[in-house]
Structure 1
Amino acid sequence: MADLTQTQWSEQLANDDNAVILDVRTEAEVSEGSIPNRIHMDIFNAGPFMDAAKKMDASKNYYVYCRSGGRSGQACAILNSLGFKNTYNLMGGFMEWEGETTV
């Protein structure tokens, strides 16, 4: 897992053809907006989160975010424990995101 600043995360993501954006916030948080082209998996729903994680392609690069960067760090650690090599945590999370968003 790598903790990336907002700038590092968005620049690396823009140049990554093997990227998957993973939003681990709650449904209520997602309803306030999200980063485009993301997959939503609420980390607070542990069972469904683990089931979905086990079905994901471990060869992809996962760019993970939450509201402030804490839960996404936990999600990266979980993915790493499942054999995912490339996980990137967005420091500051969606609260500090200045890029494109969708509602």
Structure 2
Amino acid sequence: MNLSQNDWTSQLKDDNNAIILDVRTQEEWSEGIIPGAILNDIYKGQGFIYRLEELDKTKNYYVYCKAGGRSAQACSVMNQMGFENTYNLEGGFMNWQGDVAFTEEN
């Protein structure tokens, strides 16, 4: 499901079962992240799938990338794999108005 920046943020804030998933590259990750996000680079192909298989499908996943395209694709893949609740951040990180964290870890 695609959510606007405001809807994504407000829904996430009230969600006790939320996981934030960043599907950008490591280089993009190092430029700043939405606090609490975990990295799973969609460009890793099968590696991306393997990491998805390790995740708890009962959680609610708030997914973002730079502009919203890769994260929409990631949500589609996740839905096909049995993830019921995936939320794509429309406009992605480049339009993000919330807090930003900087980390070298993923």
Give the TM-score of the pair, scaled to structure 1.
0.98
Superposed counterparts of 1:16-95, under 5 Å: 16-95=15-94
Please name the residue that 1:13 is paired with.
Answer: 12
1:27 aligned partner, one-letter code: Q
SS for the counterpart of 2:43 is: coil
Q: Write the distance in 2 (CA, Å) between the matches of 1:38 and 1:30.
A: 10
Question: Separation in 2 of the partners of 1:40 and 1:80?
Answer: 18
C-alpha RMSD over aligned residues: 0.5
Separation in 2 of the partners of 1:77 and 1:45? 16
Q: Gapped runs of 5+ residues in structure 2?
A: none
Distance 2:95 2:86 in 1: 19
* Cα distance in structure 2, aligned partners of 1:75 and 1:4: 14
Q: Which amino acid aligns with 1:66?
A: C
Q: How many residues align?
A: 102
Shift of 1:51: 0.3
Residue 71 of structure 1: how far off its partner (Å): 0.1
Q: For the residues of structure 1 that align with 2:45 and 2:52, how far apart are their CA atoms? A: 10
Gaps of 5+ in 1: none
Amino acid across the alignment from 2:88: N
SS at match of 1:44: helix
1:27-71 per-residue CA deviation (whole Å, 9 max, x = no partner) reads 111111000111100000011110010111000000000000000
- Paired with 2:42 and 2:92, the residues of 1 have a C-alpha distance of 14
Q: Output the amino acid matched with 2:89.
A: L
Deviating above 4 A after TM superposition, structure 1's stretches of 4 or more consecutive aligned residues are none
Identity within the alignment, %: 52
